[in-house]
Amino acid sequence: MLKGNQVYLCALEREDLPYLMAWRNQREFRKHFREYRELNSDMQNLWYEKKVLDDPGTIMFAIRSVENEELLGCCGLCYINWVHRNSDLSLYIGKDQVYIDNRGYAEESCRLLFDYGFLELGLEKIWSELYEFDEKKITLYQKLGMQMDGILRNQYFYDGRWWDSKIFSILSGEWIRR
């Protein structure tokens, strides 16, 4: 368990899956994810079994409230490359259908993940691909010191038009100096 002031990160449990599926299936959430289809319980269970339980390149956490242990969201390090020491960052707050909250849950979750990834796992870089309309995450990640590495033009088709993807990252030394 990774514990902060407001949230703690712990292992995802099978009982969390219906909440994650309901949050991910909301249109306003789904547009931010690579998996564009609505999920059914078979798909959610397969992801849990293949990625969360069996894939050493994926470390996912439930985000829970320190105050009452309520499930708030999900986060993790995905596509971990153990040779090149980098990982994709996954994060969302499902509680109250906010995606990225203003209470600090998402920010504290990232801080805990960055400490874990850099200080415990020895990663060199944590990166994320964000679609250009994902202003909440872009603002949060910049606040945390992530920098934009590049743009993938016309990478994502949504709502009748093409959108660019922006690649953000933070390096171990940048995080530790903060």
Average pLDDT over residues 138-167: 96
Summarised one tens digit per residue, pLDDT across range 38-54 is 889 998 999 999 999 99
What does the alpha-carbon distance between residue 140 and residue 101 come to, in Å, rounded to a whole number?
10
Q: How many domains does the chain have?
A: 1
C-alpha 157/C-alpha 152 separation (Å) is: 12
pLDDT at position 66 is 97
Query: CA 64 to CA 72: how far, in whole Å?
Result: 5
Query: Can you say how many angstroms the Cα of residue 42 is from the centroid of all Cα atoms in its chain?
Result: 22
Helix, strand counts (H, E) of the chain: 6, 8
- pLDDT tens for each residue of 22-81: 998 888 877 788 777 788 999 899 999 999 999 999 999 999 999 999 999 999 999 999
Q: Is residue 175 part of a domain?
A: no
pLDDT given for residue 38 in this prediction: 87
Chain-wide mean pLDDT for the chain? 94
Q: Could you list the residue range(s) of the whole structural domain that residue 20 is in?
A: 2-126
Q: Please, which residues have CB within 8 angstroms of residue 172's CB and are 6 or more apart in sequence?
A: 118, 123, 124, 125
Report if residue 107 sits inside a domain.
Answer: yes
Q: Rg for the chain (alpha carbons), in Å?
A: 16
Domain assignment of residue 113, yes or no? yes
Q: What is the CATH number of the domain that holds 64?
A: 3.40.630.30
